[in-house]
Amino acid sequence: MTSEKRSIATTRTSQWPVPPDSVRYVVPEPLIRVLDRHPLTRDLYPLAFGHYRKAAGHHMHREHHRDNLLIYCTDGSAFLNVDGVPYTVQAGDLLLLPAGASHRYTASPDDPWSLHWVHYTGPLAEEFHQYLGLGRTQPIRQVGRQPRLLVDFNGLLSVRQTGFRARGLIHAANRLRQLLTALPLATEPNPQDRQLDLDTLHNYMREHLESRLTLDQLAELAGLSPAHFATRYRAQTGTSPIQHFLHLKVERACQMLDTSSASFAEISRRLGYDDAYYFSRLFKKVMGRSPSDYRHTPRH
């Protein structure tokens, strides 16, 4: 390991105003220095990452940027220029803008793109780009709608609300490695008759039991329109995705009723329902009895 000091890269994200349903996470500069020195992260680490949904008016122009930018377009389209060469980015495209590549991009005014993105740097970045087969002369690859790819991008965002703790960002840096090494496994376009990845979908549901997931959010994870996703899901499982998500919530509520003294109102709040009466009615519809009856029924 060389003792020479290397300059610390920072990044410049677009100034597009982030709406409530989008996320931009920028790593503070003091923590970038930590990542640059730490043996678990110094070879590759993120500088910023996020998810923009229907990014109307989103645009950027960089001439001499020092970091790398990976973008996965999940919906809509955008216009791109890399080193003077024009491209059109569409849903299912993976886009790599390596350090030093002059570029500009603009969301389509008629059908603005939705995108997951990550800025990153480190001595191993070029090795990863060679592994991916992407770079300045081939910045785009069509990989189709890939649920596991979305899970890996969302994994970066799991560092949010940890108070900029170094441990969380060390974890995010290694989630970035996982993302980049998984990409070559996700380069085949998604055929229309491919089965849904139910393991990924159901794991995502279980990880978000405290939320109120919508059909649109689950369909985006599967890379399908809401109507097509609901039809495919029901064909594979015999039920609707939202109904399965509700059953998982009720299952968790039963576990909490069995193992804790928390009130049903508190359990409801933990599972994303401020209206305990409404969730109680859903619970009774699934279980055939009220939460109170369930808690006080002897079981062996």
What would the pLDDT profile of 49-85 be if each residue is shown by its tens digit?
999 999 999 999 988 778 999 999 999 999 999 998 9
pLDDT band for 42, please (50, 70, 90 cuts): very high
Angle of helix 215-222 relative to helix 241-259, nearest 10 degrees? Answer: 110
C-alpha 13/C-alpha 196 separation (Å) is 34
So what's the pLDDT on residue 9?
61
Phi, psi of 97 (to 5 degrees): -115, 95
> pLDDT tens across 118-133, in order?
999 999 999 999 988 8
**For residues 260-274, average pLDDT:** 93
Who's near 17: CB < 8 A, 6+ residues apart? none
Min mean pLDDT across 86-95, 176-185, 275-284 is at 176-185
Phi, psi of 182 (to 5 degrees): -80, -20
C-alpha 48/C-alpha 27 separation (Å) is 6
So what's the pLDDT on residue 3?
38
**Using CA of residue 156, residue 157, residue 160, residue 162, what is the dihedral sign?**
negative
Contact between residue 148 and residue 186 where contact means Cβ atoms under 8 Å apart: yes
pLDDT of 258 above 50: yes
Tokens representing residue 185 in the block: 């496994």
So what's the pLDDT on residue 1?
35
So what's the pLDDT on residue 194?
61
So what's the pLDDT on residue 186?
63
C-alpha 69/C-alpha 167 separation (Å) is 23
pLDDT of 189 above 50: no
Who's near 80: CB < 8 A, 6+ residues apart? 86, 87, 88, 89, 95, 103, 104, 105, 139, 140
Cα–Cα distances in angstroms (integers) from residue 35 to residues 25, 29, 40, 42, 177, in the given order: 16, 10, 8, 6, 14
Q: pTM here?
A: 0.63
What's at 19, amino acid-wise? P
Q: Which helix (H) or strand (E) holds 88?
A: strand 85-90
Tokens representing residue 224 in the block: 């399908």
So what's the pLDDT on residue 191?
46
Cα–Cα distances in angstroms (integers) from residue 22 to residues 53, 94, 252, 275, in the given order: 6, 19, 28, 26
Q: What domains can be seen in the chain, in order of their start residue? A: 23-186 (2.60.120.280), 191-300 (1.10.10.60)
Specify the pairing of strand 77-82 against strand 140-142. Answer: unpaired
